[in-house]
Structure 1
Amino acid sequence: MNKLGNLRPTIRLSITNPASDSGSMFGRGIANLCLGVRETGSLNAAAKSMGMAYSKAWRIVKNTEAALDIQLLDRDGAHGSTLTEAGDKILDAYVAINDKLQEQAEKEFARILG
């Protein structure tokens, strides 16, 4: 098999608010943070699992919420965080679309390479 067979396309999906002037968007990083919050119930734990400082995670969430004009997380101080209904929906949509596009990209890449 030639070396092209070892390659794999990678999809970089982002969700933006066209009305926002901010460069912040809902992409892979914030999606991973939200998945971590969903699994652990804590933004701090999600950030730590990604090797990220809590302050950076907090800034990413706040900037993304401002850019999208939606609240992603409900924060309960020392009791952790949960995704809001909107946060759950955007995360589910992101994961579903990303997975489908990734699968299609891999099939198309394999077809083109023959």
Structure 2
Amino acid sequence: MTQRNFVLKIKSKIWIETNDRILISEGRVQLLKLIEETGSLNKAAKVMNLSYQKAWKLVDTSNKAAKSPLIETQVGGNKGGGTVLTPYGKSLIDSFEAINVACWEFLDEQLKKHSL
């Protein structure tokens, strides 16, 4: 019997919850990064093909779950309104991404340890 050559990979998605609410996930990180890049929740939602209402709900749920707000909205004026990430929002993204990478590395190590 011939053995086929194949490569195993573990796929995983993680998120962090608090009080049964999602605080942060890959999708929310993407949304927050786009808010930072575009300066607008509406523009970020459009890039992700989300309705404004859905994007707002995601950010609002995360804000309510967090110990500090992730974003701040700025009311219009001469330069118009906008949305910016708070320092806590930026640190949460950095922490989540580091945890996510460490998780993938751990899972890859576990796969190498076991003969499948």
Q: TM-score normalised by the shorter chain: which range applies?
A: 0.7 to 0.9
Per the alignment, residue 23 of structure 1 pairs with 21
**Which one-letter code corresponds to 1:10 in the other structure?**
K
Structure 1 Cα separation of the partners of residues 5 and 32 of structure 2: 36
Q: Which has the higher strand share?
A: 2
Per the alignment, residue 93 of structure 2 pairs with 91
Q: Displaced runs of 4+ in structure 1, greater than 6 A?
A: none
Stretches of structure 2 lacking an aligned partner (at least 5 in a row): none
The two structures, once aligned, show a CA RMSD in angstroms of 2.3
Per the alignment, residue 69 of structure 2 pairs with 71
Identity of aligned residues (%): 27
SS of alignment partner, residue 25 of structure 1: strand
Aligned-residue offset at 1:3: 7.3
Instruction: Give the one of 94, 106, 109 matched to 2:108.
Output: 106
Stretches of structure 1 lacking an aligned partner (at least 5 in a row): none
Per the alignment, residue 43 of structure 1 pairs with 41
Per the alignment, residue 13 of structure 1 pairs with 14
Check whether the contact 2:24–2:62 (CA below 8 A) recurs between aligned residues.
Answer: yes
Of 91-100 and 67-76, deviating more is: 67-76
**Which one-letter code corresponds to 1:112 in the other structure?**
H
Which structure ranks higher in relative contact order (CA pairs < 8 Å, sequence separation ≥ 6)? 1
